Amino acid sequence: FSRLLGKNVLITGASSGIGEACAYQFAAAGANVILTARRADRLGEVQSKISANWPKVNVHTATLDVRSSAEVEKVISSIPTNLSAIDILVNNAGMALGVKPVSEVSNEEIDAMIDTNVKGLLYVTRAVLKGMKERKSGHIIMMGSIAALTGYMNGSIYCATKSAVRAITESLRAETIGVPIKITEIKPGMVETEFSVIRYGGDKSKADAVYRGIEPMTAEDVAETVVFAASRHPRCVVADVVMLANGQASVTLTHRKE
Ligand code: 8X3
């Protein structure tokens, strides 16, 4: 993917899961990576791994909770000048918290998901878009979910946030056609990362049950698609991708080997 050589790629939520896998794959393709996440220690480990494996790649890390618009503005404006012209933004930071019916969902869960997955994504997008518009180029890749395609039991808030990502993606695509900035949305289904452990509040056995009898996708599988989308010819936009585990037809229809 020589088209990625020397490009500046900003990835949010880069300390684990899909974001971390994207960081390695972009670095392997020769792109410079700007990585943000809440956990400084984990981010440092990702940075060390990249420096050890791909020493020519520039890596800049910053601790960031995308829920704070002030923090987002500060982090984006503090990117070193050699990396500050962001070519590709991977809006990856996000999570599900709790698996509950609407009647029982807590304020904390509502706020965490909406503030991170929707508001945080908007703050980062807004901060990066300004420069992309000035430079008249850029590519924004949204980590959506098949949860945008249908609501499901005990998933109301998460589904709402991913539906919002889908809506933001479509509006943004319309707003940026003349620039032209590329907009991609990737909607994975079942991927095994820390996602389910966090969703179930650390309950590993409940998280494991999500993947019972089926081989889920890996973070690397999704990162491969992100990198593929990011490395197409300038005339070509991979606009919308649904990814499913083999054995999964939708959020609610899964074939499990007993
Ligand atoms: C996660 C996929 O099916 O748990 O984005 O909503 S699902």
Q: For 96, what's the count of Cα atoms within 13 Å in the CB-facing half-sphere?
A: 23
pLDDT per position as a tens digit, 38-79: 999 999 999 999 999 999 999 999 999 999 999 999 999 999
**Residue 214 included in any domain:** no
Left if phi > 0, otherwise alpha if psi is -120 to 50, otherwise beta: which for 173? alpha
ipTM: 0.88
In this structure, the residues whose C-beta lies within 6 A of any atom of ligand 1 are: 145-147, 155, 189, 251
> 3-class DSSP state for residue 233?
coil
Note the pTM of the prediction, 2 decimals. Answer: 0.97
Residue 50 identity (one-letter amino acid): I
Q: What's the burial of 159, exposed, middle or buried (CB within 10 Å: 0-12/13-18/19+)?
A: buried
Q: Which two tokens stand for residue 47?
A: 């940075």
**Residue 110 included in any domain:** yes
**Residue 35 included in any domain:** yes
Note the pLDDT of residue 205.
96
Domain that holds residue 29: 2-94+106-188+219-242
- Number of structural domains the chain divides into: 1
Between CA 191 and CA 215 the distance in angstroms is 9
**Residue 196 included in any domain:** no
> 3-class DSSP state for residue 201?
coil
**Residue 251 included in any domain:** no
Look up the CATH number of the domain holding residue 80: 3.40.50.720
Examine the pLDDT at 258 and tell me if it is beyond 90: no
Mean pLDDT of the chain: 97
pLDDT per position as a tens digit, 146-187: 999 999 999 999 999 999 999 999 999 999 999 999 999 999
Confidence of residue 13 (pLDDT cuts 50, 70, 90): very high
Note the pLDDT of residue 1.
67
Examine the pLDDT at 31 and tell me if it is beyond 90: yes
Nearest to 241 by CA among 166, 167, 181: 166
**Residue 200 included in any domain:** no
**For this structure, is 211 an active site residue?**
no
Ligand 1, atom nearest to 144 Cα: 5
Of 116, 143, 145, 156, which is best to mutate to test ligand 1, by the most ligand atoms within 8 angstroms of its C-beta? 145
In order, the DSSP letters of 166-213 are: HHHHHHHHHHTTTTT-EEEEEEE--EESSHHHHHTTT-HHHHHHHTTT
Phi, psi of 91, rounded to the nearest 5 degrees: -80, 85
Say how far residue 120 (Cα) sits from the centre of its chain. Answer: 11
**Residue 59 included in any domain:** yes
Which DSSP letter does residue 3 get? G
**For this structure, is 74 an active site residue?**
no
Of 150, 161, 190, 243, which is best to mutate to test ligand 1, by the most ligand atoms within 8 angstroms of its C-beta? 190
Note the pLDDT of residue 88.
98
pLDDT per position as a tens digit, 84-143: 999 999 999 999 999 999 999 999 999 999 999 999 999 999 999 999 999 999 999 999
Which residue of the set 7, 24, 123, 162 is catalytic? 162
Note the pLDDT of residue 199.
96
**Residue 158 included in any domain:** yes
Determine which residue's CA is closest to atom 5 belonging to ligand 1.
Answer: 145
Residues in the chain: 258
Nearest to 219 by CA among 56, 19, 7: 19
pLDDT per position as a tens digit, 204-255: 999 999 999 999 999 999 999 999 999 999 999 999 999 999 999 999 999 9
Examine the pLDDT at 23 and tell me if it is beyond 90: yes
